Amino acid sequence: MHLILKVRGAGAGAVSRLLAKNPHNVYDRTEKDARVRIVYITDTESETEVLIHAEPDPVDLVRGTPNGYDITQYINDREFVTSSLFCSYIRSALGTALNGKPKEDYLQWVEHSFDMELSFGPVASDLPDRVVEELFSSLGYTVTLERDELSYTFDLKKKSTVRRIRLSGQVTVQNALRQLFLLIPVLDNYKHYFISEDEIDKIKRYGEGWLETHPLKELIVRRTLRFSELIRKYELQEGALPVSVEQVGGVNQISDKGINESDKGIQNASAGELERSESPVRLNELRYRAITELVAALPAKRRIVDMGAGEGKLSARLAYISGVETILAVEPSGQSRLRAMERFAKLEDRSGVVAMPEPVIGSLFYFDEQMQNQDVMILCEVIEHIEAYRLNGIMDTIMSDYRPDVLLVTTPNKEYNEVYAMEQESFRHHDHRFEWTRAELVERCEKWAHKGNYAFEIRGIGEYAEGYGQPTQLVIFERRKENQL
């Protein structure tokens, strides 16, 4: 992870004084278990180029995490990408520049706008290119995005979410660093620390003089503060109007089942719904409601399998449905199962619970005889996380071997991505392998149902948009009886 700052023109030699780092010495320190180095590539009166590099210890990054027993904890990009971690590593080294308090002889250069080029990365961002560009072009930068060439033997993705970013423009050293310290975590949308009211102070400090007029201020605030309570406190302090869900809901923020369950499901209420309710209904909430209502109305629902149950949110809701006797919450992730177990433990003393969900280690890729002949099997936002070429085999196993009476499947409607103003080849979550249009889903379902001897019906979930349908597609497969052949 790195940042390169290059300045050309009169006064370029003053940059080292603003950074308070001697160009003739290599800055090499350990900050928060990361090695931070600052090296001057060029240092003349007309041109200065400085590299700021951070190299964290990959073991320290995962030490003490809940899944510390699992070797897969080391499979992540935190060691390499430029994120909030990078900003925390280099903050101490650049404190003088961020505060704008060099030695008195160089105070005149604090407010001087240099001809500057900033290069940093790689950045792993779920934001589409146009939004990344607008975040910086609105500040007067010329923006260039670069991607590495990726060679796969199959079509994994049209575009990598990992990009390197180069900015050029007229800007002070202090403002350039403050903007990056606020916007780099917004790009990555990952926080490695507890988000408290200190984040509000950081927004005010680093956003002074530019954030108030930024066209994507709402997006910046939401991705920085994350929690509604902090956002409300910020709005009250600023005297600002509430952040519009519609303004930020389209910038590729619609999370489905993925790494961070707490971020799942961006708010997707219409303007009218916002006026009627202080707490707009999340798309994920609408999915859960649709599924639980459908299951509750089924004549046979004693035995249920929730495949890819994650942290058990849906399984916990199914536990209240009258007539349900067993719920198998099947999930391959150890960390998610632990959270599900904690969630299920809280159900024990609650009234109305008719069946305690049972966390089960399992995957659609491995046959498990206890999944056979269940009344209901649910795949809520699961299939899009599987390579499309493997789905036919999985659906054949479900319909021919497991043979549930009812199979419920939800998956994103690709056409609706245009309503969210997403780029054509973008996915709603970085782990999605595909997203299908309504016609593509119908074509697949017809093949699966015919081969597996099922009838099916497709419904929509979420706000309807003319010409695009609804954001989520719900497929209801019902197994045909033998006399219906």
The pLDDT tens digits of the residues spanning 209-241 come to 999 999 999 889 988 887 778 888 888 877 654
- Report which listed range, 123-137, 172-186, 225-239, 425-439, is most confident: 172-186
- Judged against a pLDDT cut of 70, whether residue 150 lies above it is answered with no
Provide the pLDDT for residue 342. Answer: 93
- In the chain, CATH 3.30.1610.20 sits at 2-193
Provide the pLDDT for residue 349. Answer: 83
Mean pLDDT of 141-154: 76
Q: How confident is the model at residue 347 (pLDDT cuts 50, 70, 90)?
A: very high
Residue range 2-193, CATH number = 3.30.1610.20
Percent of the chain with pLDDT over 90: 58
Question: Is the alpha carbon torsion for 201, 206, 211, 216 positive or negative?
Answer: negative
Mean pLDDT of 381-401: 94
Provide the pLDDT for residue 442. Answer: 97
Please state, in angstroms and rounded to a whole number, the distance separating the CA atoms of residues 202 and 193.
14
Provide the pLDDT for residue 282. Answer: 84
Provide the pLDDT for residue 483. Answer: 53
Provide the pLDDT for residue 335. Answer: 85
Q: How confident is the model at residue 272 (pLDDT cuts 50, 70, 90)?
A: very low
- Judged against a pLDDT cut of 90, whether residue 243 lies above it is answered with no
Provide the pLDDT for residue 177. Answer: 95
Sequence letter at residue 367:
F
Please state, in angstroms and rounded to a whole number, the distance separating the CA atoms of residues 210 and 192.
26
| Second-level CATH architecture of 283-484 | 3-Layer(aba) Sandwich (3.40)
- Judged against a pLDDT cut of 80, whether residue 112 lies above it is answered with yes
Provide the pLDDT for residue 252. Answer: 33
Provide the pLDDT for residue 135. Answer: 94
Q: Which residues contact 80 (CB under 8 A, 6 or more apart)?
A: 1, 122
Provide the pLDDT for residue 420. Answer: 82
> From residue 468, how far is each of 401, 413, 418, 429 by CA, in Å?
35, 8, 8, 19
Please state, in angstroms and rounded to a whole number, the distance separating the CA atoms of residues 9 and 64.
48
Provide the pLDDT for residue 360. Answer: 94
Provide the pLDDT for residue 72. Answer: 55
pLDDT tens digits along 419-466: 887 766 778 887 889 999 999 999 999 999 999 999 999 999 999 999
Structure tokens at 372: 């056979």
Identify any residues that bridge with 5 across adjacent strands, giving them in sequence order.
50, 118
Largest separation between any pair of C-alpha atoms in the chain:
93
Paired sense of beta strands 27-31 and 47-56, if any: unpaired
Paired sense of beta strands 114-124 and 27-31, if any: unpaired
- Judged against a pLDDT cut of 70, whether residue 152 lies above it is answered with no
- In the chain, CATH 3.40.50.150 sits at 283-484
Q: How confident is the model at residue 74 (pLDDT cuts 50, 70, 90)?
A: low
Minimum mean pLDDT range among 84-98, 173-187, 377-391: 84-98
Provide the pLDDT for residue 259. Answer: 28
Identify any residues that bridge with 330 across adjacent strands, giving them in sequence order.
307, 360
- Judged against a pLDDT cut of 90, whether residue 48 lies above it is answered with yes
From the list 233, 135, 111, 151, the residue with the least C-alpha distance to 189 is 135
- Judged against a pLDDT cut of 50, whether residue 59 lies above it is answered with yes
Question: Which of residues 141 and 246 earns the better pLDDT score?
Answer: 141
